[in-house]
């Protein structure tokens, strides 16, 4: 959308390079299909220093930061991670000045269905914030650029709190979506999962259609909210109900972690599940559902 709006957008691509170079990017959306042709690059040196670097890697690839990012980042570059979970800004702040780092949370329902082809299903908000700082003028400038391109961009004064707010959705729907392959009973105990008992993953509507699954969703949400509050992030319990109602409009959506699992790709265990669990434990918050979920995901992780 930034490219379509005339921004000088460059895509640093891995698997999709040939397809995007040849055909551009196609978006299928209930808000209207469109096609864009951003500059396609295979190596960061082909792009050079940028005003803004937006990171959309899976967090399982964060070890690539030292190789991919330095050719793109100058002293005045803003580095914005749009990744899931906790710890991503901290990883960037170990490479660059913390004052250059921003975080963004994408509240959007979409899937990459083929190289260079994206299916957008619902929603589309990006929440922006500064790492360990109040919003700067540049934060609002970036949000304005997004808005001009048709992307809903908002600014938060507390990025850490916003991360926990999104985890209220991500942990149950990404986590249970994958862990449901072990079966419902396996999520109530710490017994090992047998490969022979694998079941199809539950989509968002399936997790909310059955009383027992919806109960697990709510219990996980409440654990995340309780942990966030213990860490000083002040989330209301009513947030769980708001997110559940918002999710009902998505239909049979497979969250991104389910797609990774079904493709045999590594799960974003560290940022989405294990680090939140560690922080909850450090705050002395009891999270029995999250602890079992993390164990199940460890057992199911394809790598």
Phi, psi dihedrals of residue 215, rounded to the nearest 5°: -65, -40
Q: Which of 67, 147, 154, 166 is catalytic?
A: 166
Instruction: Provide mean pLDDT across the span 264-283.
Output: 96
Q: Grade residue 183 by pLDDT with cuts at 50, 70 and 90.
A: confident
254 has pLDDT over 70: yes
What average pLDDT does this structure show over 225-229? 98
The pLDDT value given to residue 290: 97
Q: What pLDDT, in 10s, does the model give residues 206-221?
A: 999 988 999 999 999 9
The structure tokens 């989330």 sit at 235
pLDDT score of 251: 85
What value does the mean pLDDT of the chain take?
93
Inter-residue contact 180 to 262 (CB < 8 Å)? no
* pLDDT > 90? residue 81: yes
Question: Percentage of residues in the chain with pLDDT exceeding 90?
Answer: 83
Most confident of 103-112, 251-260, 271-280: 271-280
How many residues can be counted in the chain? 303
pLDDT of residue 196: 47
Mean pLDDT within 232-244: 94
pLDDT for res 197: 58
Residue 31 clears pLDDT 80, i.e. is over it: yes
For residue 190, pLDDT over 50 is answered with yes
What pLDDT sits at residue 210?
A: 82
Tens of pLDDT, residues 42-67: 999 999 999 999 999 999 999 999 99
The pTM is what?
0.91
Distances (CA, A) of 255 to 111, 143, 154, 244, 273: 8, 25, 23, 14, 15
pLDDT in tens, 128-178: 999 999 999 999 999 999 999 999 999 999 999 999 999 999 999 999 999
166 catalytic per annotation? yes
pLDDT for the residue 193: 60
pLDDT at 200: 87
Task: With a cut of 70, say whether residue 258 has pLDDT above it.
Answer: yes
**Domains identified in the chain and CATH numbers:** 10-157 (3.40.50.720), 162-300 (1.10.1040.10)
- Would you say residue 88 has pLDDT above 70? yes
30, 39, 118 from 23: Cα distances, Å: 21, 11, 13
For residue range 275-295, what is the model confidence (pLDDT) as tens digits? 999 999 999 999 999 999 999
């Amino acid at each position: 959308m930034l490219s379509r709006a005339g921004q000088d957008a460059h895509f640093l691509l891995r698997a999709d390079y040939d397809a995007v170079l040849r055909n551009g990017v196609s978006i299928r959306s209930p808000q209207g299909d469109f096609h864009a042709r951003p500059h396609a690059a295979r190596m960061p040196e082909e792009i050079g220093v940028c005003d803004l670097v937006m990171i959309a890697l899976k967090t399982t690839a964060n070890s690539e930061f030292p190789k991919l990012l330095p050719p793109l980042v100058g002293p005045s570059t803003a580095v914005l991670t749009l990744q899931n979970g906790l710890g991503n800004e901290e990883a960037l702040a170990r490479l660059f000045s913390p004052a250059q780092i921003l975080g963004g949370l994408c509240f959007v329902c979409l899937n990459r269905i083929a190289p260079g082809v994206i299916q957008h299903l619902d929603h589309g908000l990006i929440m922006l914030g500064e790492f360990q700082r109040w919003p700067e003028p540049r934060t609002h400038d970036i949000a304005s650029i997004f808005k001009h391109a048709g992307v809903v961009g908002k600014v938060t004064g507390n990025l850490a709190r916003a991360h926990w707010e999104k985890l209220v959705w991500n942990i149950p729907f990404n986590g249970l979506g994958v862990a449901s392959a072990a079966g419902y009973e396996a999520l109530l105990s710490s017994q090992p999962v047998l490969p022979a008992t694998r079941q199809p993953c539950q989509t968002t509507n399936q997790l909310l259609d059955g009383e027992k699954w919806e109960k697990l969703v709510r219990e996980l949400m409440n654990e995340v909210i309780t942990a966030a509050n213990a860490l000083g992030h002040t989330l209301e319990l009513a947030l769980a109900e708001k997110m559940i109602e918002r999710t009902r409009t998505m239909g049979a959506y497979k969250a991104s972690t389910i797609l990774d699992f079904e493709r045999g790709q590594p799960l974003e265990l560290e940022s989405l599940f294990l680090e939140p669990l560690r922080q909850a434990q450090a705050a002395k918050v009891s999270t029995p559902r999250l602890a079992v979920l993390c164990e199940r995901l460890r057992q199911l992780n394809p790598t």
